[in-house]
């Protein structure tokens, strides 16, 4: 009896497990599949394994002493402050290049490009950068051929020295490889006015144009590093949004009308939109305004494929003097109507310094926010600050 009962119990236990297994096996299998798929997704998003490239969001916050002022005040070229002297340092004349020679024109797409490249996160001081990038003489031009365009890279700037050092270290060899004839123009907005990114675009455009009538202007955030060398730093007939795929946003476009980060304009197209608006003080809206100006001038914004328009953004917090602009939406409402009376033709600023170093042209400006508002178009339906 006892034996029988034991056998019965053991048969019952076995059949319980068989029932359990058959009932839940499908669920367990599906759950495991889901778990594996999730893990794979997380790995793909965080490493972006495309072409084996491993990109990271670079963080360069560290306690270094700032050296921009020392670099600028001790630079051997500091006495070259007139436009003529600067032009000479850059190896330019008003309408061409000092060095003559009979070089053939560079290929439209250089032959040696490789696609994805790694962003370099190392920080070198300005003097080391001059040594590492010894071909820079305020400007760079390829030695083997004549570039099709002269390009000004305009960087709106305030107090981001570490970002500037990293950008320079990345972008100089990147553009050398692309055979770009380029000058980097850092436009520094002096304190205490609220930061005005778009106005610095206009100032960069105007000040660079006093030196030379550059063909192409690339407005470039200081914290964005290009990571695909097929993203050509040149200008076509239409303005181009160059930074569509940023690692911070998992390389996905942030919207169909996004126009921030890095954008390119030919001289003609920037003049056609009367530059950017001067009225956006603080963070946000100025890029959308510029997008509307482009559409309002019978042009379109073009983009290259996502696989090419790739950038890594240096990690940062919001800047104290660049809080969210509470007027951005009101301003956006009449962006196109305002275009002809707010921009390159109405800008007011005080240039404090214009200086060239081996690495960049430095334009230091003072912006009087009250004055800008006093002279803003009278029909603006804004409550002035």
Do residues 185 and 154 touch, judged by C-beta distance below 8 A? Answer: yes
Map residues 189-228 to x or -, x wherever contact with ligand UDH holds by CB under 6 A: ------x-x-----------------------xxx-----
Phi-psi region of 64 (alpha: psi -120 to 50; beta: other; left: phi over 0): beta
* DSSP code for 65: P
Nearest distance in Å: CB 168, ligand UDH: 13
Q: Is 1 a catalytic residue?
A: no
Site for ligand UDH (CB under 6 A): which residue of 160, 162, 338, 358?
A: 160
Choices 109-117, 142-150, 170-178, 215-223; region in contact with Mn ion by CB under 5 A: 215-223
Site for ligand UDH (CB under 6 A): which residue of 138, 142, 156, 285?
A: 156
Report how far Cα 378 is from the mean position of its chain's Cα atoms: 33
Nearest distance in Å: CB 158, ligand UDH: 4
Q: Which residue in the list 48, 223, 247, 289 is annotated as catalytic?
A: 223
Choices 102-110, 117-125, 292-300, 318-326; region in contact with ligand UDH by CB under 6 A: 318-326
Nearest distance in Å: CB 363, ligand UDH: 13
SS3 of residue 321 by DSSP: coil
* DSSP code for 248: G
Which positions ≥6 away from 214 have C-beta within 8 Å?
150, 151, 152, 183, 208, 267
**157 or 212, CB closer to ligand UDH?**
157
**142 or 285, CB closer to ligand UDH?**
285
Q: Is 286 a catalytic residue?
A: yes
Choices 13-21, 266-274, 314-322, 354-362; region in contact with ligand UDH by CB under 6 A: 314-322
The span from the CA of 341 to the CA of 270, in Å, is 15
Looking at the chain, list the stretches that DSSP marks H as alpha helix, in order from N- to C-terminal side: 2-47, 68-74, 83-89, 126-132, 161-177, 197-211, 267-272, 286-296, 328-333, 335-338, 369-374
- Residues marked as catalytic: 221, 223, 283, 286-287, 313, 316, 318
């Amino acid at each position: 009896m006892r034996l029988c009962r034991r056998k019965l119990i053991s048969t019952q236990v076995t059949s319980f497990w068989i029932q359990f297994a058959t009932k839940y096996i499908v669920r367990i299998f599906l759950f495991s599949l889901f778990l594996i798929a999730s893990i794979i997704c997380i790995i793909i998003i965080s490493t972006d394994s495309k072409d084996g490239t491993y990109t990271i969001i670079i963080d360069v916050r560290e306690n270094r002493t700032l050296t921009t002022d020392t670099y600028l005040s001790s630079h051997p070229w500091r006495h070259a402050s007139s436009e003529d002297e600067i032009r000479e340092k850059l190896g330019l004349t008003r309408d061409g290049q000092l060095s003559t020679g009979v070089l053939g024109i560079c290929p439209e797409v250089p032959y040696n490009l490789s696609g994805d490249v790694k962003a370099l996160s190392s920080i070198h001081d300005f003097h080391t950068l001059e040594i590492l990038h010894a071909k820079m003489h305020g400007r760079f031009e390829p030695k083997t051929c004549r570039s099709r365009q002269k390009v000004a890279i305009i960087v709106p700037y305030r107090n981001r020295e570490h970002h500037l050092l990293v950008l320079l270290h990345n972008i100089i060899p990147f553009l050398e490889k692309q055979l770009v004839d380029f000058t980097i123009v850092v436009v520094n907005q002096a304190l205490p006015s609220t930061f005005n990114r778009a106005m610095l675009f206009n100032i960069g455009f105007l000040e660079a144009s006093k030196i030379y009538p550059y063909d192409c202007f690339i407005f470039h955030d200081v914290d964005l590093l290009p990571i695909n060398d097929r993203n050509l730093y040149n200008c076509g007939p239409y303005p181009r949004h160059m930074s569509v795929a940023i690692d911070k946003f998992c390389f996905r476009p942030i919207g169909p009308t996004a126009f921030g980060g890095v954008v390119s304009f030919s001289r003609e197209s920037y003049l056609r939109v009367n530059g950017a608006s001067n009225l956006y003080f603080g963070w946000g809206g100025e890029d959308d305004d510029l997008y509307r100006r482009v559409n309002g001038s019978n042009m379109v914004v073009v983009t290259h494929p996502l696989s090419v328009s790739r950038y890594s953004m240096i990690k940062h917090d919001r800047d104290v003097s660049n809080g969210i602009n509470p007027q951005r939406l009101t301003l956006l409402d009449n962006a196109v109507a305002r275009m002809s009376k707010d921009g390159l033709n109405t800008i007011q600023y005080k240039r404090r310094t214009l200086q060239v170093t081996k690495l960049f042209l430095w334009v230091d400006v003072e912006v009087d926010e009250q004055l800008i508002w006093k002279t803003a178009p009278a029909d603006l339906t804004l409550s002035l600050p």
